[in-house]
Chain A
Amino acid sequence: MNAALFAADLRLLWRHGFAIAYLVVAVLYAAALSALPRAWADAVLPVLAWSDPTFFCFFFAGASVCLDLAQGTFRSLFASPLRPSAYLIVKALDLGILSFAMAALVSASSRGAGFRLWPLAVSAVAGGAPTALLGATLALRLKSVNRFMMGSIPAFLVLALPAVQYAAGRYLPPWFGLVADLSPGDGSLAFARAAYTPVPAGELALGALAAAAWTVAIARFALAPAVNAARGD
């Protein structure tokens, strides 16, 4: 772990306004939850907590890579001994920490101390790691913020499937649930739910395994070729 890179990336997230965006959304989430009836708020909270790492890490990792591409800094990074994987892990970690802080803040605003922190932390890792790598991969391939915003829509829809299943699963055909289970963000949702209600250990273990498998697969088969292609640009 490169502490200077970790600190510099956090500084950049702050100076580029990503941290402020997290804070603003957290306040909006908290305000929306406070306006809902208790039962509804409790039902919505796991999805909000899950969406923090899943969607924010995806979009902000992509946007952050687009900024690197726009500033041309990758060429110097690639010429240095820093491994691209270390660079992207630090990005994912910083975004995951912000997501975790945001989810904890929103949870505290709605339930006081009535939630568990560790499942939220695992949810941030399980949701943030694969989606941040996916966002970074798409950004490296699409090369600009505008193209990333358009090109990431299909990936966003796939990432959102577990939320649809969570909200409306009982009204949807069984195959939809199977497809949603295959989404890279599905493992994270189990842990987000576990922060507020008991979830079977087997389901959590499966969720952690799925998140780890997705992270490794995206890193190996999508991100690594994208990095190699960007290296030669």
Chain B
Amino acid sequence: MIRVRDLRFTYPKGTSEAIRGIDFAVAPGEVFGFLGPSGAGKSTTQKILLGSLRGYSGSATVGSVEASGADSRYRAGIGAAFEFPCFYQKLTGLENVRLFASFYPGPKVDPRPLFERLGLADAMDWRLAEYSKGMRMRLNLIRAVIHRPRVLFLDEPTSGLDPANARVVRDIVRERAADGAAVFLTTHDMAAADATCDRVAFIVDGRIAACDEPAALKRRYGKRAVVVDREPGPEVGAAAGGSAAGASDGASDGASEKTAQAEYPLDGLADDAAFIAELRKPGLLGVRTLDSSLDGIFLRLTGKELV
């Protein structure tokens, strides 16, 4: 649905390329996370795909149509929710949604159930000036999906939302993908990307540093080990120290004041006698894997924090 090949772009007054030869594709039904720090090229790529920026080299197509030739028909199949949700302040939420929906051909979704689902039923007839940032973000999503687009561009869709509403937004995004839409999700929020995306690409300085499923990235770049957490105590502490020494890398990752920890390699774990003995000792608090977070992988691959 979305295909980008060797895409390069330099702003007219820019001295260097903002996009430096990136390649990716987003299939129908897929949620693709485009992750990177500010200035990495996320918005530029999105603007190119929306047909707002021309003069690029390489190829950027949506539904096999080149973005540089974007016209009304091209845009009719796209829904976009930008990071800063902008609406007509003097119109109500419902008036805004209906106005923007009127620009798109074909049948529309009834907006009222979406307003209810996103907790905006009572605010449907409020003017936008009375909406909080979180309410605008939710309204932004309604505007983007109201015409059932085949391609959905979402920029930081859960920014400023409480966990409950963020979950509803993620659910709606997943439902749109299940309905066949290709979703291009731009975000800093690795946790949201991890929870929502089928695949993610890390972009930094106009280049894609890695692109794969979140779980695959974690497997590839994460530490293949488990950590046993237990209550500290003279007997337990000694036990923890013993088991840590028994771990293949010989390292406990440093017990805190309240918790003793011992680490064991994931490979051969079922046959690791020290690990099994550790589980039998008193004071067990839990066992967890040492998957890297997407933040950690991003930092490791790019040397940059996601800010």
Contact A71 B89 (CB under 8 A): yes
Contact string, A216-233, partner B, CB cutoff 8 A, digits 1/0? Answer: 000000000000000110
Contact B80 A76 (CB under 8 A): yes
Given A4-B98, A76-B80, A232-B52, CB of A81 within 8 Å of CB of B105: yes
Which of B70-78, B171-179, B223-231, B264-272 is the contact stretch?
A: B70-78
Contact A231 B105 (CB under 8 A): no
The reply on B84 being an interface residue by CB < 8 A is yes
- Other A-B contacts than A81-B103, A83-B72, A232-B54, 13 sampled, CB-CB below 8 A, are A5-B103, A8-B91, A15-B90, A71-B86, A73-B88, A75-B86, A76-B80, A76-B100, A80-B75, A80-B104, A81-B73, A81-B104, A232-B47
The reply on B50 being an interface residue by CB < 8 A is yes
Give A72 to B88 CA distance when docked, in angstroms. 9
The reply on A82 being an interface residue by CB < 8 A is yes
In the complex, the chain A residue whose C-beta lies closest to that of B98 is: A4
Given A76-B100, A79-B75, A80-B104, CB of A12 within 8 Å of CB of B88: yes
B110 to chain A, nearest CB (A): 16
B286 to chain A, nearest CB (A): 47
Q: Interface residue count for B (Cβ, 8 Å)?
A: 29
Contact string, B98-122, partner A, CB cutoff 8 A, digits 1/0? Answer: 1110111100000000000000000
B56 to chain A, nearest CB (A): 11
Q: Which residues of A contact B131 (CB under 8 A)?
A: none
Give A143 to B88 CA distance when docked, in angstroms. 17
Give A82 to B78 CA distance when docked, in angstroms. 12
Given A80-B75, A231-B52, A232-B47, CB of A4 within 8 Å of CB of B102: yes
- A interface with B by C-beta (< 8 Å): 2-5, 8, 11-12, 15-16, 71-73, 75-83, 231-232
The reply on B143 being an interface residue by CB < 8 A is yes
In the complex, the chain B residue whose C-beta lies closest to that of A2 is: B102
Give A15 to B91 CA distance when docked, in angstroms. 8
In the complex, the chain A residue whose C-beta lies closest to that of B84 is: A72
Q: Which residues of A contact B50 (CB under 8 A)?
A: 78-79
Q: Which residues of B contact A3 (CB under 8 A)?
A: 102
Contact B53 A232 (CB under 8 A): yes
The reply on B95 being an interface residue by CB < 8 A is yes
Give A73 to B89 CA distance when docked, in angstroms. 10
8 A-B residue pairings within 8 Å (CB atoms): A2-B102, A8-B95, A76-B87, A76-B100, A77-B103, A78-B52, A79-B52, A79-B78
Contact B90 A16 (CB under 8 A): yes
The reply on B82 being an interface residue by CB < 8 A is yes
Q: Which residues of B contact A16 (CB under 8 A)?
A: 90
Q: Which residues of B contact A12 (CB under 8 A)?
A: 88, 90-91
In the complex, the chain B residue whose C-beta lies closest to that of A77 is: B103
Given A73-B86, A81-B75, CB of A4 within 8 Å of CB of B104: no
* Residue of A4, A8, A73, A76 contacting most chain B CB atoms (<10 Å): A76
Q: Which residues of B contact A73 (CB under 8 A)?
A: 86-88
